[in-house]
Amino acid sequence: DAGVTQSPTHLIKTRGQQVTLRCSPKSGHDTVSWYQQALGQGPQFIFQYYEEEERQRGNFPDRFSGHQFPNYSSELNVNALLLGDSALYLCASSRTEAGSETQYFGPGTRLLVL
């Protein structure tokens, strides 16, 4: 049973560029959430997708956008990259049903913006 997978593992971009990160959820999961983890901090919620729509959003600017596909996989897009966007980006999946609140995380994509 494959867990949550993310690609790429590492990425280096320059300021102003755009980046797309990808996530495949755990088998049987239909909900994908994205988090940003800065160095020395806990993960911060970016947004959550369910049924191909953004269901919740954290306190992140519109430069951060996403998409969920019919197979439940998801993408995170960040436009006009800033130095402060350098972080570990984590994808988590879960099932949308009562009693299934646990989110399972992928290994993350480490983004460095120069």
Backbone angles phi, psi at 90, to 5 degrees: -110, 140
* Contact flag: residue 1 with another protein (CB under 8 A): no
Total number of residues shown for the chain: 114
Q: Does 101 bind another protein (CB under 8 A)?
A: yes
Among 24, 48, 68, 74, binds another protein (CB under 8 A): 48
Q: Are strands 10-13 and 109-113 parallel, antiparallel or unpaired?
A: parallel
Dist. CA 61–CA 38, nearest whole Å:
16
Question: Of 13-21, 38-46, 66-74, 78-86, which part binds another protein (CB under 8 A)?
Answer: 38-46
In whole angstroms, the minimum distance from the beta carbon of 52 to another protein comes to 18
